[in-house]
Copies of this chain bind each other. A is one copy, B any other.
Amino acid sequence: MKDLLTRLPTTAALILFAYATIRFLPRLPFSLLVYVIASLAAVEFLRLAGPAIRSLPLILTNGLIVAALFTFPQLPVKEMLAATVILNGLFFLFAVRRSEQLPTFVHDFGVHLAAVFYIFLPLYFMYDLHQLHPNYLFFLILVIAIGDSGAYFVGVAIGRHKIYPVASPKKSLEGLIAAVLTAAPAGWLSLWLFPLPIRPPTAILSAALVGLVSQLSDPVESLFKRAAGAKDSGTLLPGHGGVLDRIDSYIFCAPLLAALAHIVW
C-alpha cells in the first residue's frame, strides 16, 4: 500500500509527460528526448554491468551516432555503425595501458558494444515509430502496460510454471499467456482511442505479439541486474526503480513494432 502511494504520483507524472511529449513535440526535440532517455538508460546499464575500464563520453558519442542515423535517414547506416565499433576499439587500444587490465578487457569491450547495440539502437526505434505516426507509441505503451498488468495479476493468482527461474523467478507461463491475452484487446482499445491506418485484426495480432515479446524483453534486462546483484537499475523514478526498469520492455518491442509497421503491414 505504501509502495502504491510512492508509485502513484510518479505514474501520473510519467503518463502526463509521455502523452504531452508524444502528442506535441516536433521531430527534432522528440529525437533529443529519446537520446536523453536512452542516455539515462545507458548510464544505469554501465553502472550495472560494471566495466573496470569505462568511458561514458565514448558511449554518449556512440549514442549520438545512432541518434544521427535514425534522425537523418539519408546517412549510411552500416558505415556509421561500423564507425562506432572502430571508435570502441581505438578507445580500448589506448585505455589498456597495464597488463592487469587484460583479464576484464573482453567484458569491458562487450559492455561498451552493448551500450550501443542493446540500449541505443533498439530504443531509438521509438523515434522511428513516432515518425511513422505518433499513435504507434501510444499503441506500444498501452499494449505493454496492459499486458504487464495481465501477466502480474494472473501470475500472482495462478502462476505455477516458472519459465526463467534465474532472470525473473516471479514470472510464470500462466502470466505469459495472460500477457498475450490481455495485450490483444489492448491493441484494439488503442486503435479505437488513437487511430492508426491499420485494420483491427492486424492491430490485435500485433498487440498479442508485442505482449509476448514484452514478457521476454523485461527478464533479459533483469539478467543484467541479477548479475550485478541489484534489485533496481537505478533510483531516478520514486517507486519505479530506474529508467532502464521502466523501459526494459521497449528494448525488444520498439524494433518489433517498427519492423511490423514498416515491413509486414
Contacts and interface: CB of A to CB of B under 8 A. Distances in A.
B255 A82 contact: yes
Contacts of A93: 164, 167, 216, 219-220, 223
A105 B111 CA distance: 11
A165 interface: yes
B79 A263 contact: yes
A114 B105 contact: no
B118 A164 contact: no
A108 to B, nearest CB: 8
A219 B105 CA distance: 13
Nearest to A88: B118
Interface string A76-98: 11110111011001101110111
Nearest to A219: B93
B78 A70 contact: yes
A166 interface: yes
Contacts of A85: 117-118, 121-122
A220 B90 contact: yes
B118 A223 contact: no
Given A92-B220, A105-B223, A82 B164 contact: no
A81 B70 CA distance: 13
A110 B103 CA distance: 14
Contacts of A107: 106-107, 110
A94 B223 CA distance: 11
A30 interface: no
A226 interface: yes
A252 B166 contact: no
Interface in A2-27: none
B125 A82 contact: yes
A89 B220 contact: yes
Contacts of A103: 227
Nearest to A169: B99
Contacts of A165: 97
A180 B224 CA distance: 43
Nearest to A50: B106
19 contacts: A69-B78, A70-B78, A76-B259, A78-B121, A79-B262, A82-B122, A82-B125, A85-B122, A86-B252, A89-B118, A89-B220, A90-B220, A93-B220, A96-B164, A96-B166, A96-B167, A102-B223, A105-B227, A113-B113
